[in-house]
Every structure is written in structure tokens, then in C-alpha cells.
């Protein structure tokens, strides 16, 4: 990976911003917020072809409104298995084989996002069995082989054995693991170590929402005062220095700017050690 201060990581040869704007739960505001995030300086966008939580066409509209060139962006979407959709909203035929579902969902994503390729395609969650998960993964590998997807990832996988099984079976290895970052899973310490050892980018979501106690801790408050930063900036900066790529879905323009400002300072090794006791 590149150094933690340059704002970019590299995964499977694809340049990835070290902080990504997440677009879940924004509904009718999606286009305006995506345009605002891009104009504030974000160059990485995460979305999904899943109407329950995402307005993917709104993401495409926001990108178009921003005027930012496609080649300047890292664009990441997801294939969501049937269990992640409200019945009747799936972007594919629920009765079709998994490979067909992947192809239909991907085609819808390209249309929604007004592009001919994705920098990353993420499997939104493992399927009901490892065999079905691997079937979906093989279909996604075909999109990489066709040159329409840069790299592949998995989300919402909290069992190391399950992730390792996919990694071993895959021809195109997972380059991204995107998980909820919270104390109930010990902040995925084992999975993050696996990612470091295998050159996989760990992306965190719910990074602030799920860690209110840590943000209010004496450690974070002391570092925030010392560096004249917000507690959120201290946490994001710590994660960046641990090779984590955080997602932020803020709807505040001021917070967008604060989030991107984490690349303007650095925590010392002993400060990172103190943060490591929390995470």
C-alpha cells in the first residue's frame, strides 16, 4: 500500500481513496449529497444495487451533476443476494440462477451509475451456503475477466473461517472486506490481521455510529485536544494509519470537510498504541 498520508491505497492494481463516501439511507437526497461530497473533495463512492437501503440511480445523478470526470473517481457497488431485498424490488429475476442474478444486477448498476465499468464490485453478504457464495463469486470473477470490474470484495462477513474459505476457493482473490466496525465483533481484529497478511483492504462502516463510547473516552478526548481536532477526526486518522479505509456517510458539508482533513495531520506511534487499546 501507499503511505498513510497520501490519501490513496492500492488494491489489486486499483487506486482506492483512503476514505470513501457511503451512500446508504439517503433516499431522495442522494443525488444532492453525492454531488456535495464530490465537490468537497471525495473521490471514492460506495453504493449498492439494493433499493431497500440505496438510491443507486441517485448516485449516478449526483456524479453527473458534480462534473467530476469518471476517470477521477473510484466507484464501488454491490450485488445484494435475494435475502437483502424487499420482495418485488430485486434488480433481477429472483427465480434465475445466481450467475444470472449477478449479471442482471451488474447491468442495472452500470445503467444507474451511467458508466461502463466499476472499480470494485462487492458481494453484499455471503449467501445461504458456501457453495452459493462461491457460485456468485465465480460470476463476479467473469466480470473482472471481461474488464468491466477492477476488483472484487465481500461485505458483512464476520467469521474468519468463512472469509478464509472464500479466499482459498477464489481465482480472483477478494481485494476488499467491508464490515460494520463495532465492539461486539472485537472490531474484527482477527479479520483485519488476515487482511493485512493477504494484501486485502479492510473498509469500515458504522465507524462513528457504533463507537460512541470510544469517541467519548479519555484517550480520544485527550488526543483531540492535543491535536486540535474532533474525536471523529482522531478515530478516522487512527484507522487510516492502520490501513483501514473508513466509509463516512455524513450529510453535513462541514463534516465532509472535517473528514477529509484527517490527511492533514498524523498520530505518533505511542498515540496509536493508546488508540489500539480501544480498538
Instruction: Please state, in angstroms and rounded to a whole number, the distance separating the CA atoms of residues 92 and 105.
Output: 6
Q: pLDDT tens across 219-247, in order? A: 999 999 999 999 999 999 999 999 999 99
- Measured between its terminal Cα atoms, the distance across the chain in Å is 21
Q: Residues 106, 56: contact at Cβ < 8 Å? A: no
Is residue 5 over pLDDT 60? no
Longest dimension (CA), the chain: 57
Span of 3-7, 145-149, 153-157 with lowest mean pLDDT: 3-7
The pLDDT assigned to 6 comes to: 60
> DSSP states of 56-83 as a string?
HHHHHHHHHHHT--GGG-EEEEEEPPGG
Q: pLDDT tens across 128-148, in order? A: 999 999 999 999 999 999 999
Q: Residues 129, 97: contact at Cβ < 8 Å? A: no
Cα dist from 21 to 41, 124, 151, 169, 273, whole Å:
10, 17, 18, 31, 27
What number is the average pLDDT over the span 138-164? 98
Q: How many CA atoms lie within 13 A of 106 on its CB side?
A: 26
The pLDDT assigned to 11 comes to: 84
Instruction: Please state, in angstroms and rounded to a whole number, the distance separating the CA atoms of residues 163 and 146.
Output: 25
Is residue 96 over pLDDT 80? yes
Per DSSP, helices labelled H in the chain are: 30-40, 56-66, 98-113, 130-145, 160-169, 189-198, 212-215, 218-227, 231-241, 253-260, 269-276
Is residue 3 over pLDDT 50? no
Is residue 4 over pLDDT 50? no
Is residue 271 over pLDDT 70? yes
Grid cell digits, residue 248:
463516512
* CB neighbourhood size of 57 (10 A): 19
Q: Residues 234, 220: contact at Cβ < 8 Å? A: yes
What number is the average pLDDT over the span 44-53? 98
Cα dist from 190 to 96, 202, 210, 245, 272, whole Å:
36, 12, 19, 17, 18
The pLDDT assigned to 9 comes to: 86
Domains of the chain in sequence order = 10-210+240-250 (3.20.20.100)
Instruction: Please state, in angstroms and rounded to a whole number, the distance separating the CA atoms of residues 157 and 249.
Output: 21
The pLDDT assigned to 220 comes to: 98
Instruction: Please state, in angstroms and rounded to a whole number, the distance separating the CA atoms of residues 81 and 52.
Output: 12
Amino acid at each position: 500500500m501507499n503511505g498513510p498520508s497520501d490519501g490513496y491505497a492500492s488494491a489489486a492494481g486499483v487506486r482506492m481513496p483512503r476514505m470513501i463516501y457511503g451512500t446508504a439511507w439517503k433516499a431522495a437526497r442522494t443525488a444532492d449529497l453525492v454531488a456535495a461530497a464530490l465537490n468537497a473533495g471525495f473521490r471514492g463512492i460506495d453504493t449498492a444495487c439494493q433499493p431497500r437501503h440505496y438510491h443507486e440511480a441517485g448516485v449516478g445523478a449526483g456524479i453527473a451533476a458534480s462534473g467530476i470526470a469518471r476517470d477521477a473517481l473510484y466507484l464501488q457497488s454491490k450485488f445484494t443476494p435475494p435475502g437483502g431485498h424487499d420482495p418485488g424490488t430485486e434488480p433481477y429475476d429472483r427465480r434465475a440462477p445466481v450467475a444470472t442474478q449477478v449479471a442482471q444486477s451488474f447491468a442495472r448498476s452500470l445503467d444507474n451509475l451511467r458508466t461502463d465499468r466499476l472499480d470494485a464490485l462487492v458481494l453484499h453478504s455471503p449467501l445461504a451456503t458456501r457453495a452459493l457464495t462461491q457460485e456468485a463469486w465465480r460470476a463476479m470473477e467473469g466480470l473482472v475477466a471481461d474488464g468491466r470490474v477492477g476488483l472484487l470484495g465481500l461485505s458483512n462477513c464476520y467469521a474468519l473461517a468463512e472469509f478464509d474459505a472464500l479466499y482459498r476457493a477464489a481465482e480472483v482473490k477478494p481485494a476488499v472486506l467491508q464490515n460494520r466496525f463495532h465492539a461486539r465483533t472485537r472490531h474484527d481484529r482477527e479479520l483485519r490481521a488476515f487482511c493485512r497478511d493477504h494484501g486485502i483492504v479492510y473498509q469500515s462502516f458504522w465507524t462513528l455510529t457504533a463507537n460512541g463510547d470510544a469517541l467519548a473516552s479519555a484517550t480520544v478526548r485527550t488526543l483531540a485536544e492535543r491535536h486540535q481536532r474532533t474525536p471523529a477526526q482522531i478515530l478516522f486518522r487512527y484507522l487510516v494509519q492502520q490501513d483501514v479505509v473508513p466509509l463516512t456517510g455524513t450529510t453535513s458539508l462541514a463534516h465532509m470537510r472535517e473528514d477529509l482533513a484527517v490527511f492533514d495531520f498524523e498520530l505518533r506511534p505511542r498515540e496509536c498504541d493508546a488508540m489500539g487499546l480501544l480498538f
